[in-house]
Amino acid sequence: MNIIENPKQMQQYSLGMKLQGKSVGFVPTMGFLHQGHLSLMEQAKKENDVVVVSIFVNPTQFGEGEDFDIYPRDFQRDRNLVEGVGADVIFYPQVKDMYPDNYKTYVDVNEITDKLCGASRPGHFRGVTTIVSKLFNMVLPDKAYFGLKDAQQVAVIKQMVKDLNFPVEIIPCPIVREEDGLAMSSRNVNLKDNERKAALVLSRSLFDAQGSIGRGEREASKIRTTITEKITSEPLAKIDYVKVVSGDTLEDLDRLSGNVLIALAVKIGKVRLIDNIMLEV
């Protein structure tokens, strides 16, 4: 397995693969990999000649006072995991090479970035779309794999790829959960024991909502209320948002129909977690 730190070398590698007619699958990550990331890599491995995994904790997608400094990092651990899956390259650039002095360019997707996590984290998606544009131009993937835990991120990236005509196919992949239901996240490691237990309130409230929709509930406000009450009953949890929206436009729904996304962001102690379910109603 190759480890490439230099952006130009990464691009040269991918241009070389293209010239050989090889397809490149790409899994962008911020490292501290978990089973969710590994599932993306495994799918990329099945569908491409070559798999590139990037590990880069991207400063521009963290706001003031967010957890950039304490975001977990462990390159040796990540390296072993990526090698275990059989990926071909880890792209592991440094901040100074990705955002050199005199850096000035940003990519913005309007409207759908103002909602959900975009409302709580101004500038977050601008950081995401900018780094993903940069990575796409360096890695030159045919297919890129994103986890649906960040459902809004997937919607934003798909919109950007369509609008800017990137020659990349976006492959959204299902959320991977711990046995007890907690959605896998690199941030879970920052939860203390009692917080880890409290964090189950996210997935449980979503599964409850799924159950009530299965029994015929179609009023978005009722679903929101039920989820909100359940989360509020957990003393360690503080709601950022509970949203019932169209999975296509991310617009609030009154009545559930079509592609429905129920998305949560909840702070458990100091750790902000997100989770969601998507369903066809």
* Active-site residue list: 37
Contacts 24+ apart (CB under 8 A), 70-76: 70/190, 71/30, 71/32, 71/186, 71/187, 72/31, 72/32, 72/186, 72/187, 72/189, 72/190, 73/31, 73/32, 74/31, 74/32, 75/31
Which residues belong to the annotated binding site for ATP?
30-37, 147-150, 176, 184-187
The CB-of-227 to a second copy minimum distance in angstroms stands at 29
* Contact status: 167 vs a second copy (CB under 8 A): yes
3-class DSSP assignment, residue 86: coil
Phi-psi region of 140 (alpha: psi -120 to 50; beta: other; left: phi over 0): left
Please select the residue that binds a second copy; options are 58, 159, 188, 205, rule is CB under 8 A: 159
Of 104, 215, 235, 280, the one binding a second copy (CB under 8 A) is 104
β-bridge pairing 169-173 and 271-280? unpaired
The residue within the footprint of a second copy, chosen from 30, 53, 138, 201 (CB under 8 A), is: 138
CB of 139 to a second copy, least distance (A): 10
Q: Does 107 bind a second copy (CB under 8 A)?
A: yes
**Shortest Å, Cβ 107 to a second copy:** 5
58: contact with a second copy by CB under 8 A = no
Residues contributing to the annotated binding site for beta-alanine:
61
Contact 227, 251 (CB under 8 A): no
Binding-site residue positions: 30-37, 61, 147-150, 153, 176, 184-187
Give the H/E segment covering residue 268: strand 259-268
| Among 65, 110, 216, 235, interactor with a second copy by CB under 8 A | 110
Residue 3 interacts with a second copy (CB under 8 A): yes or no:
no
Q: Are 157 and 242 in contact (CB under 8 A)?
A: no
Minimum CB separation of residue 240 from a second copy in Å reads: 24
The CA distances from residue 270 to 74, 100, 209, in Å, are 21, 31, 26
Binding site for a second copy (CB under 8 A): 7, 11, 15, 18-19, 21, 103-112, 129-130, 133-134, 137-138, 140, 159-160, 163-167
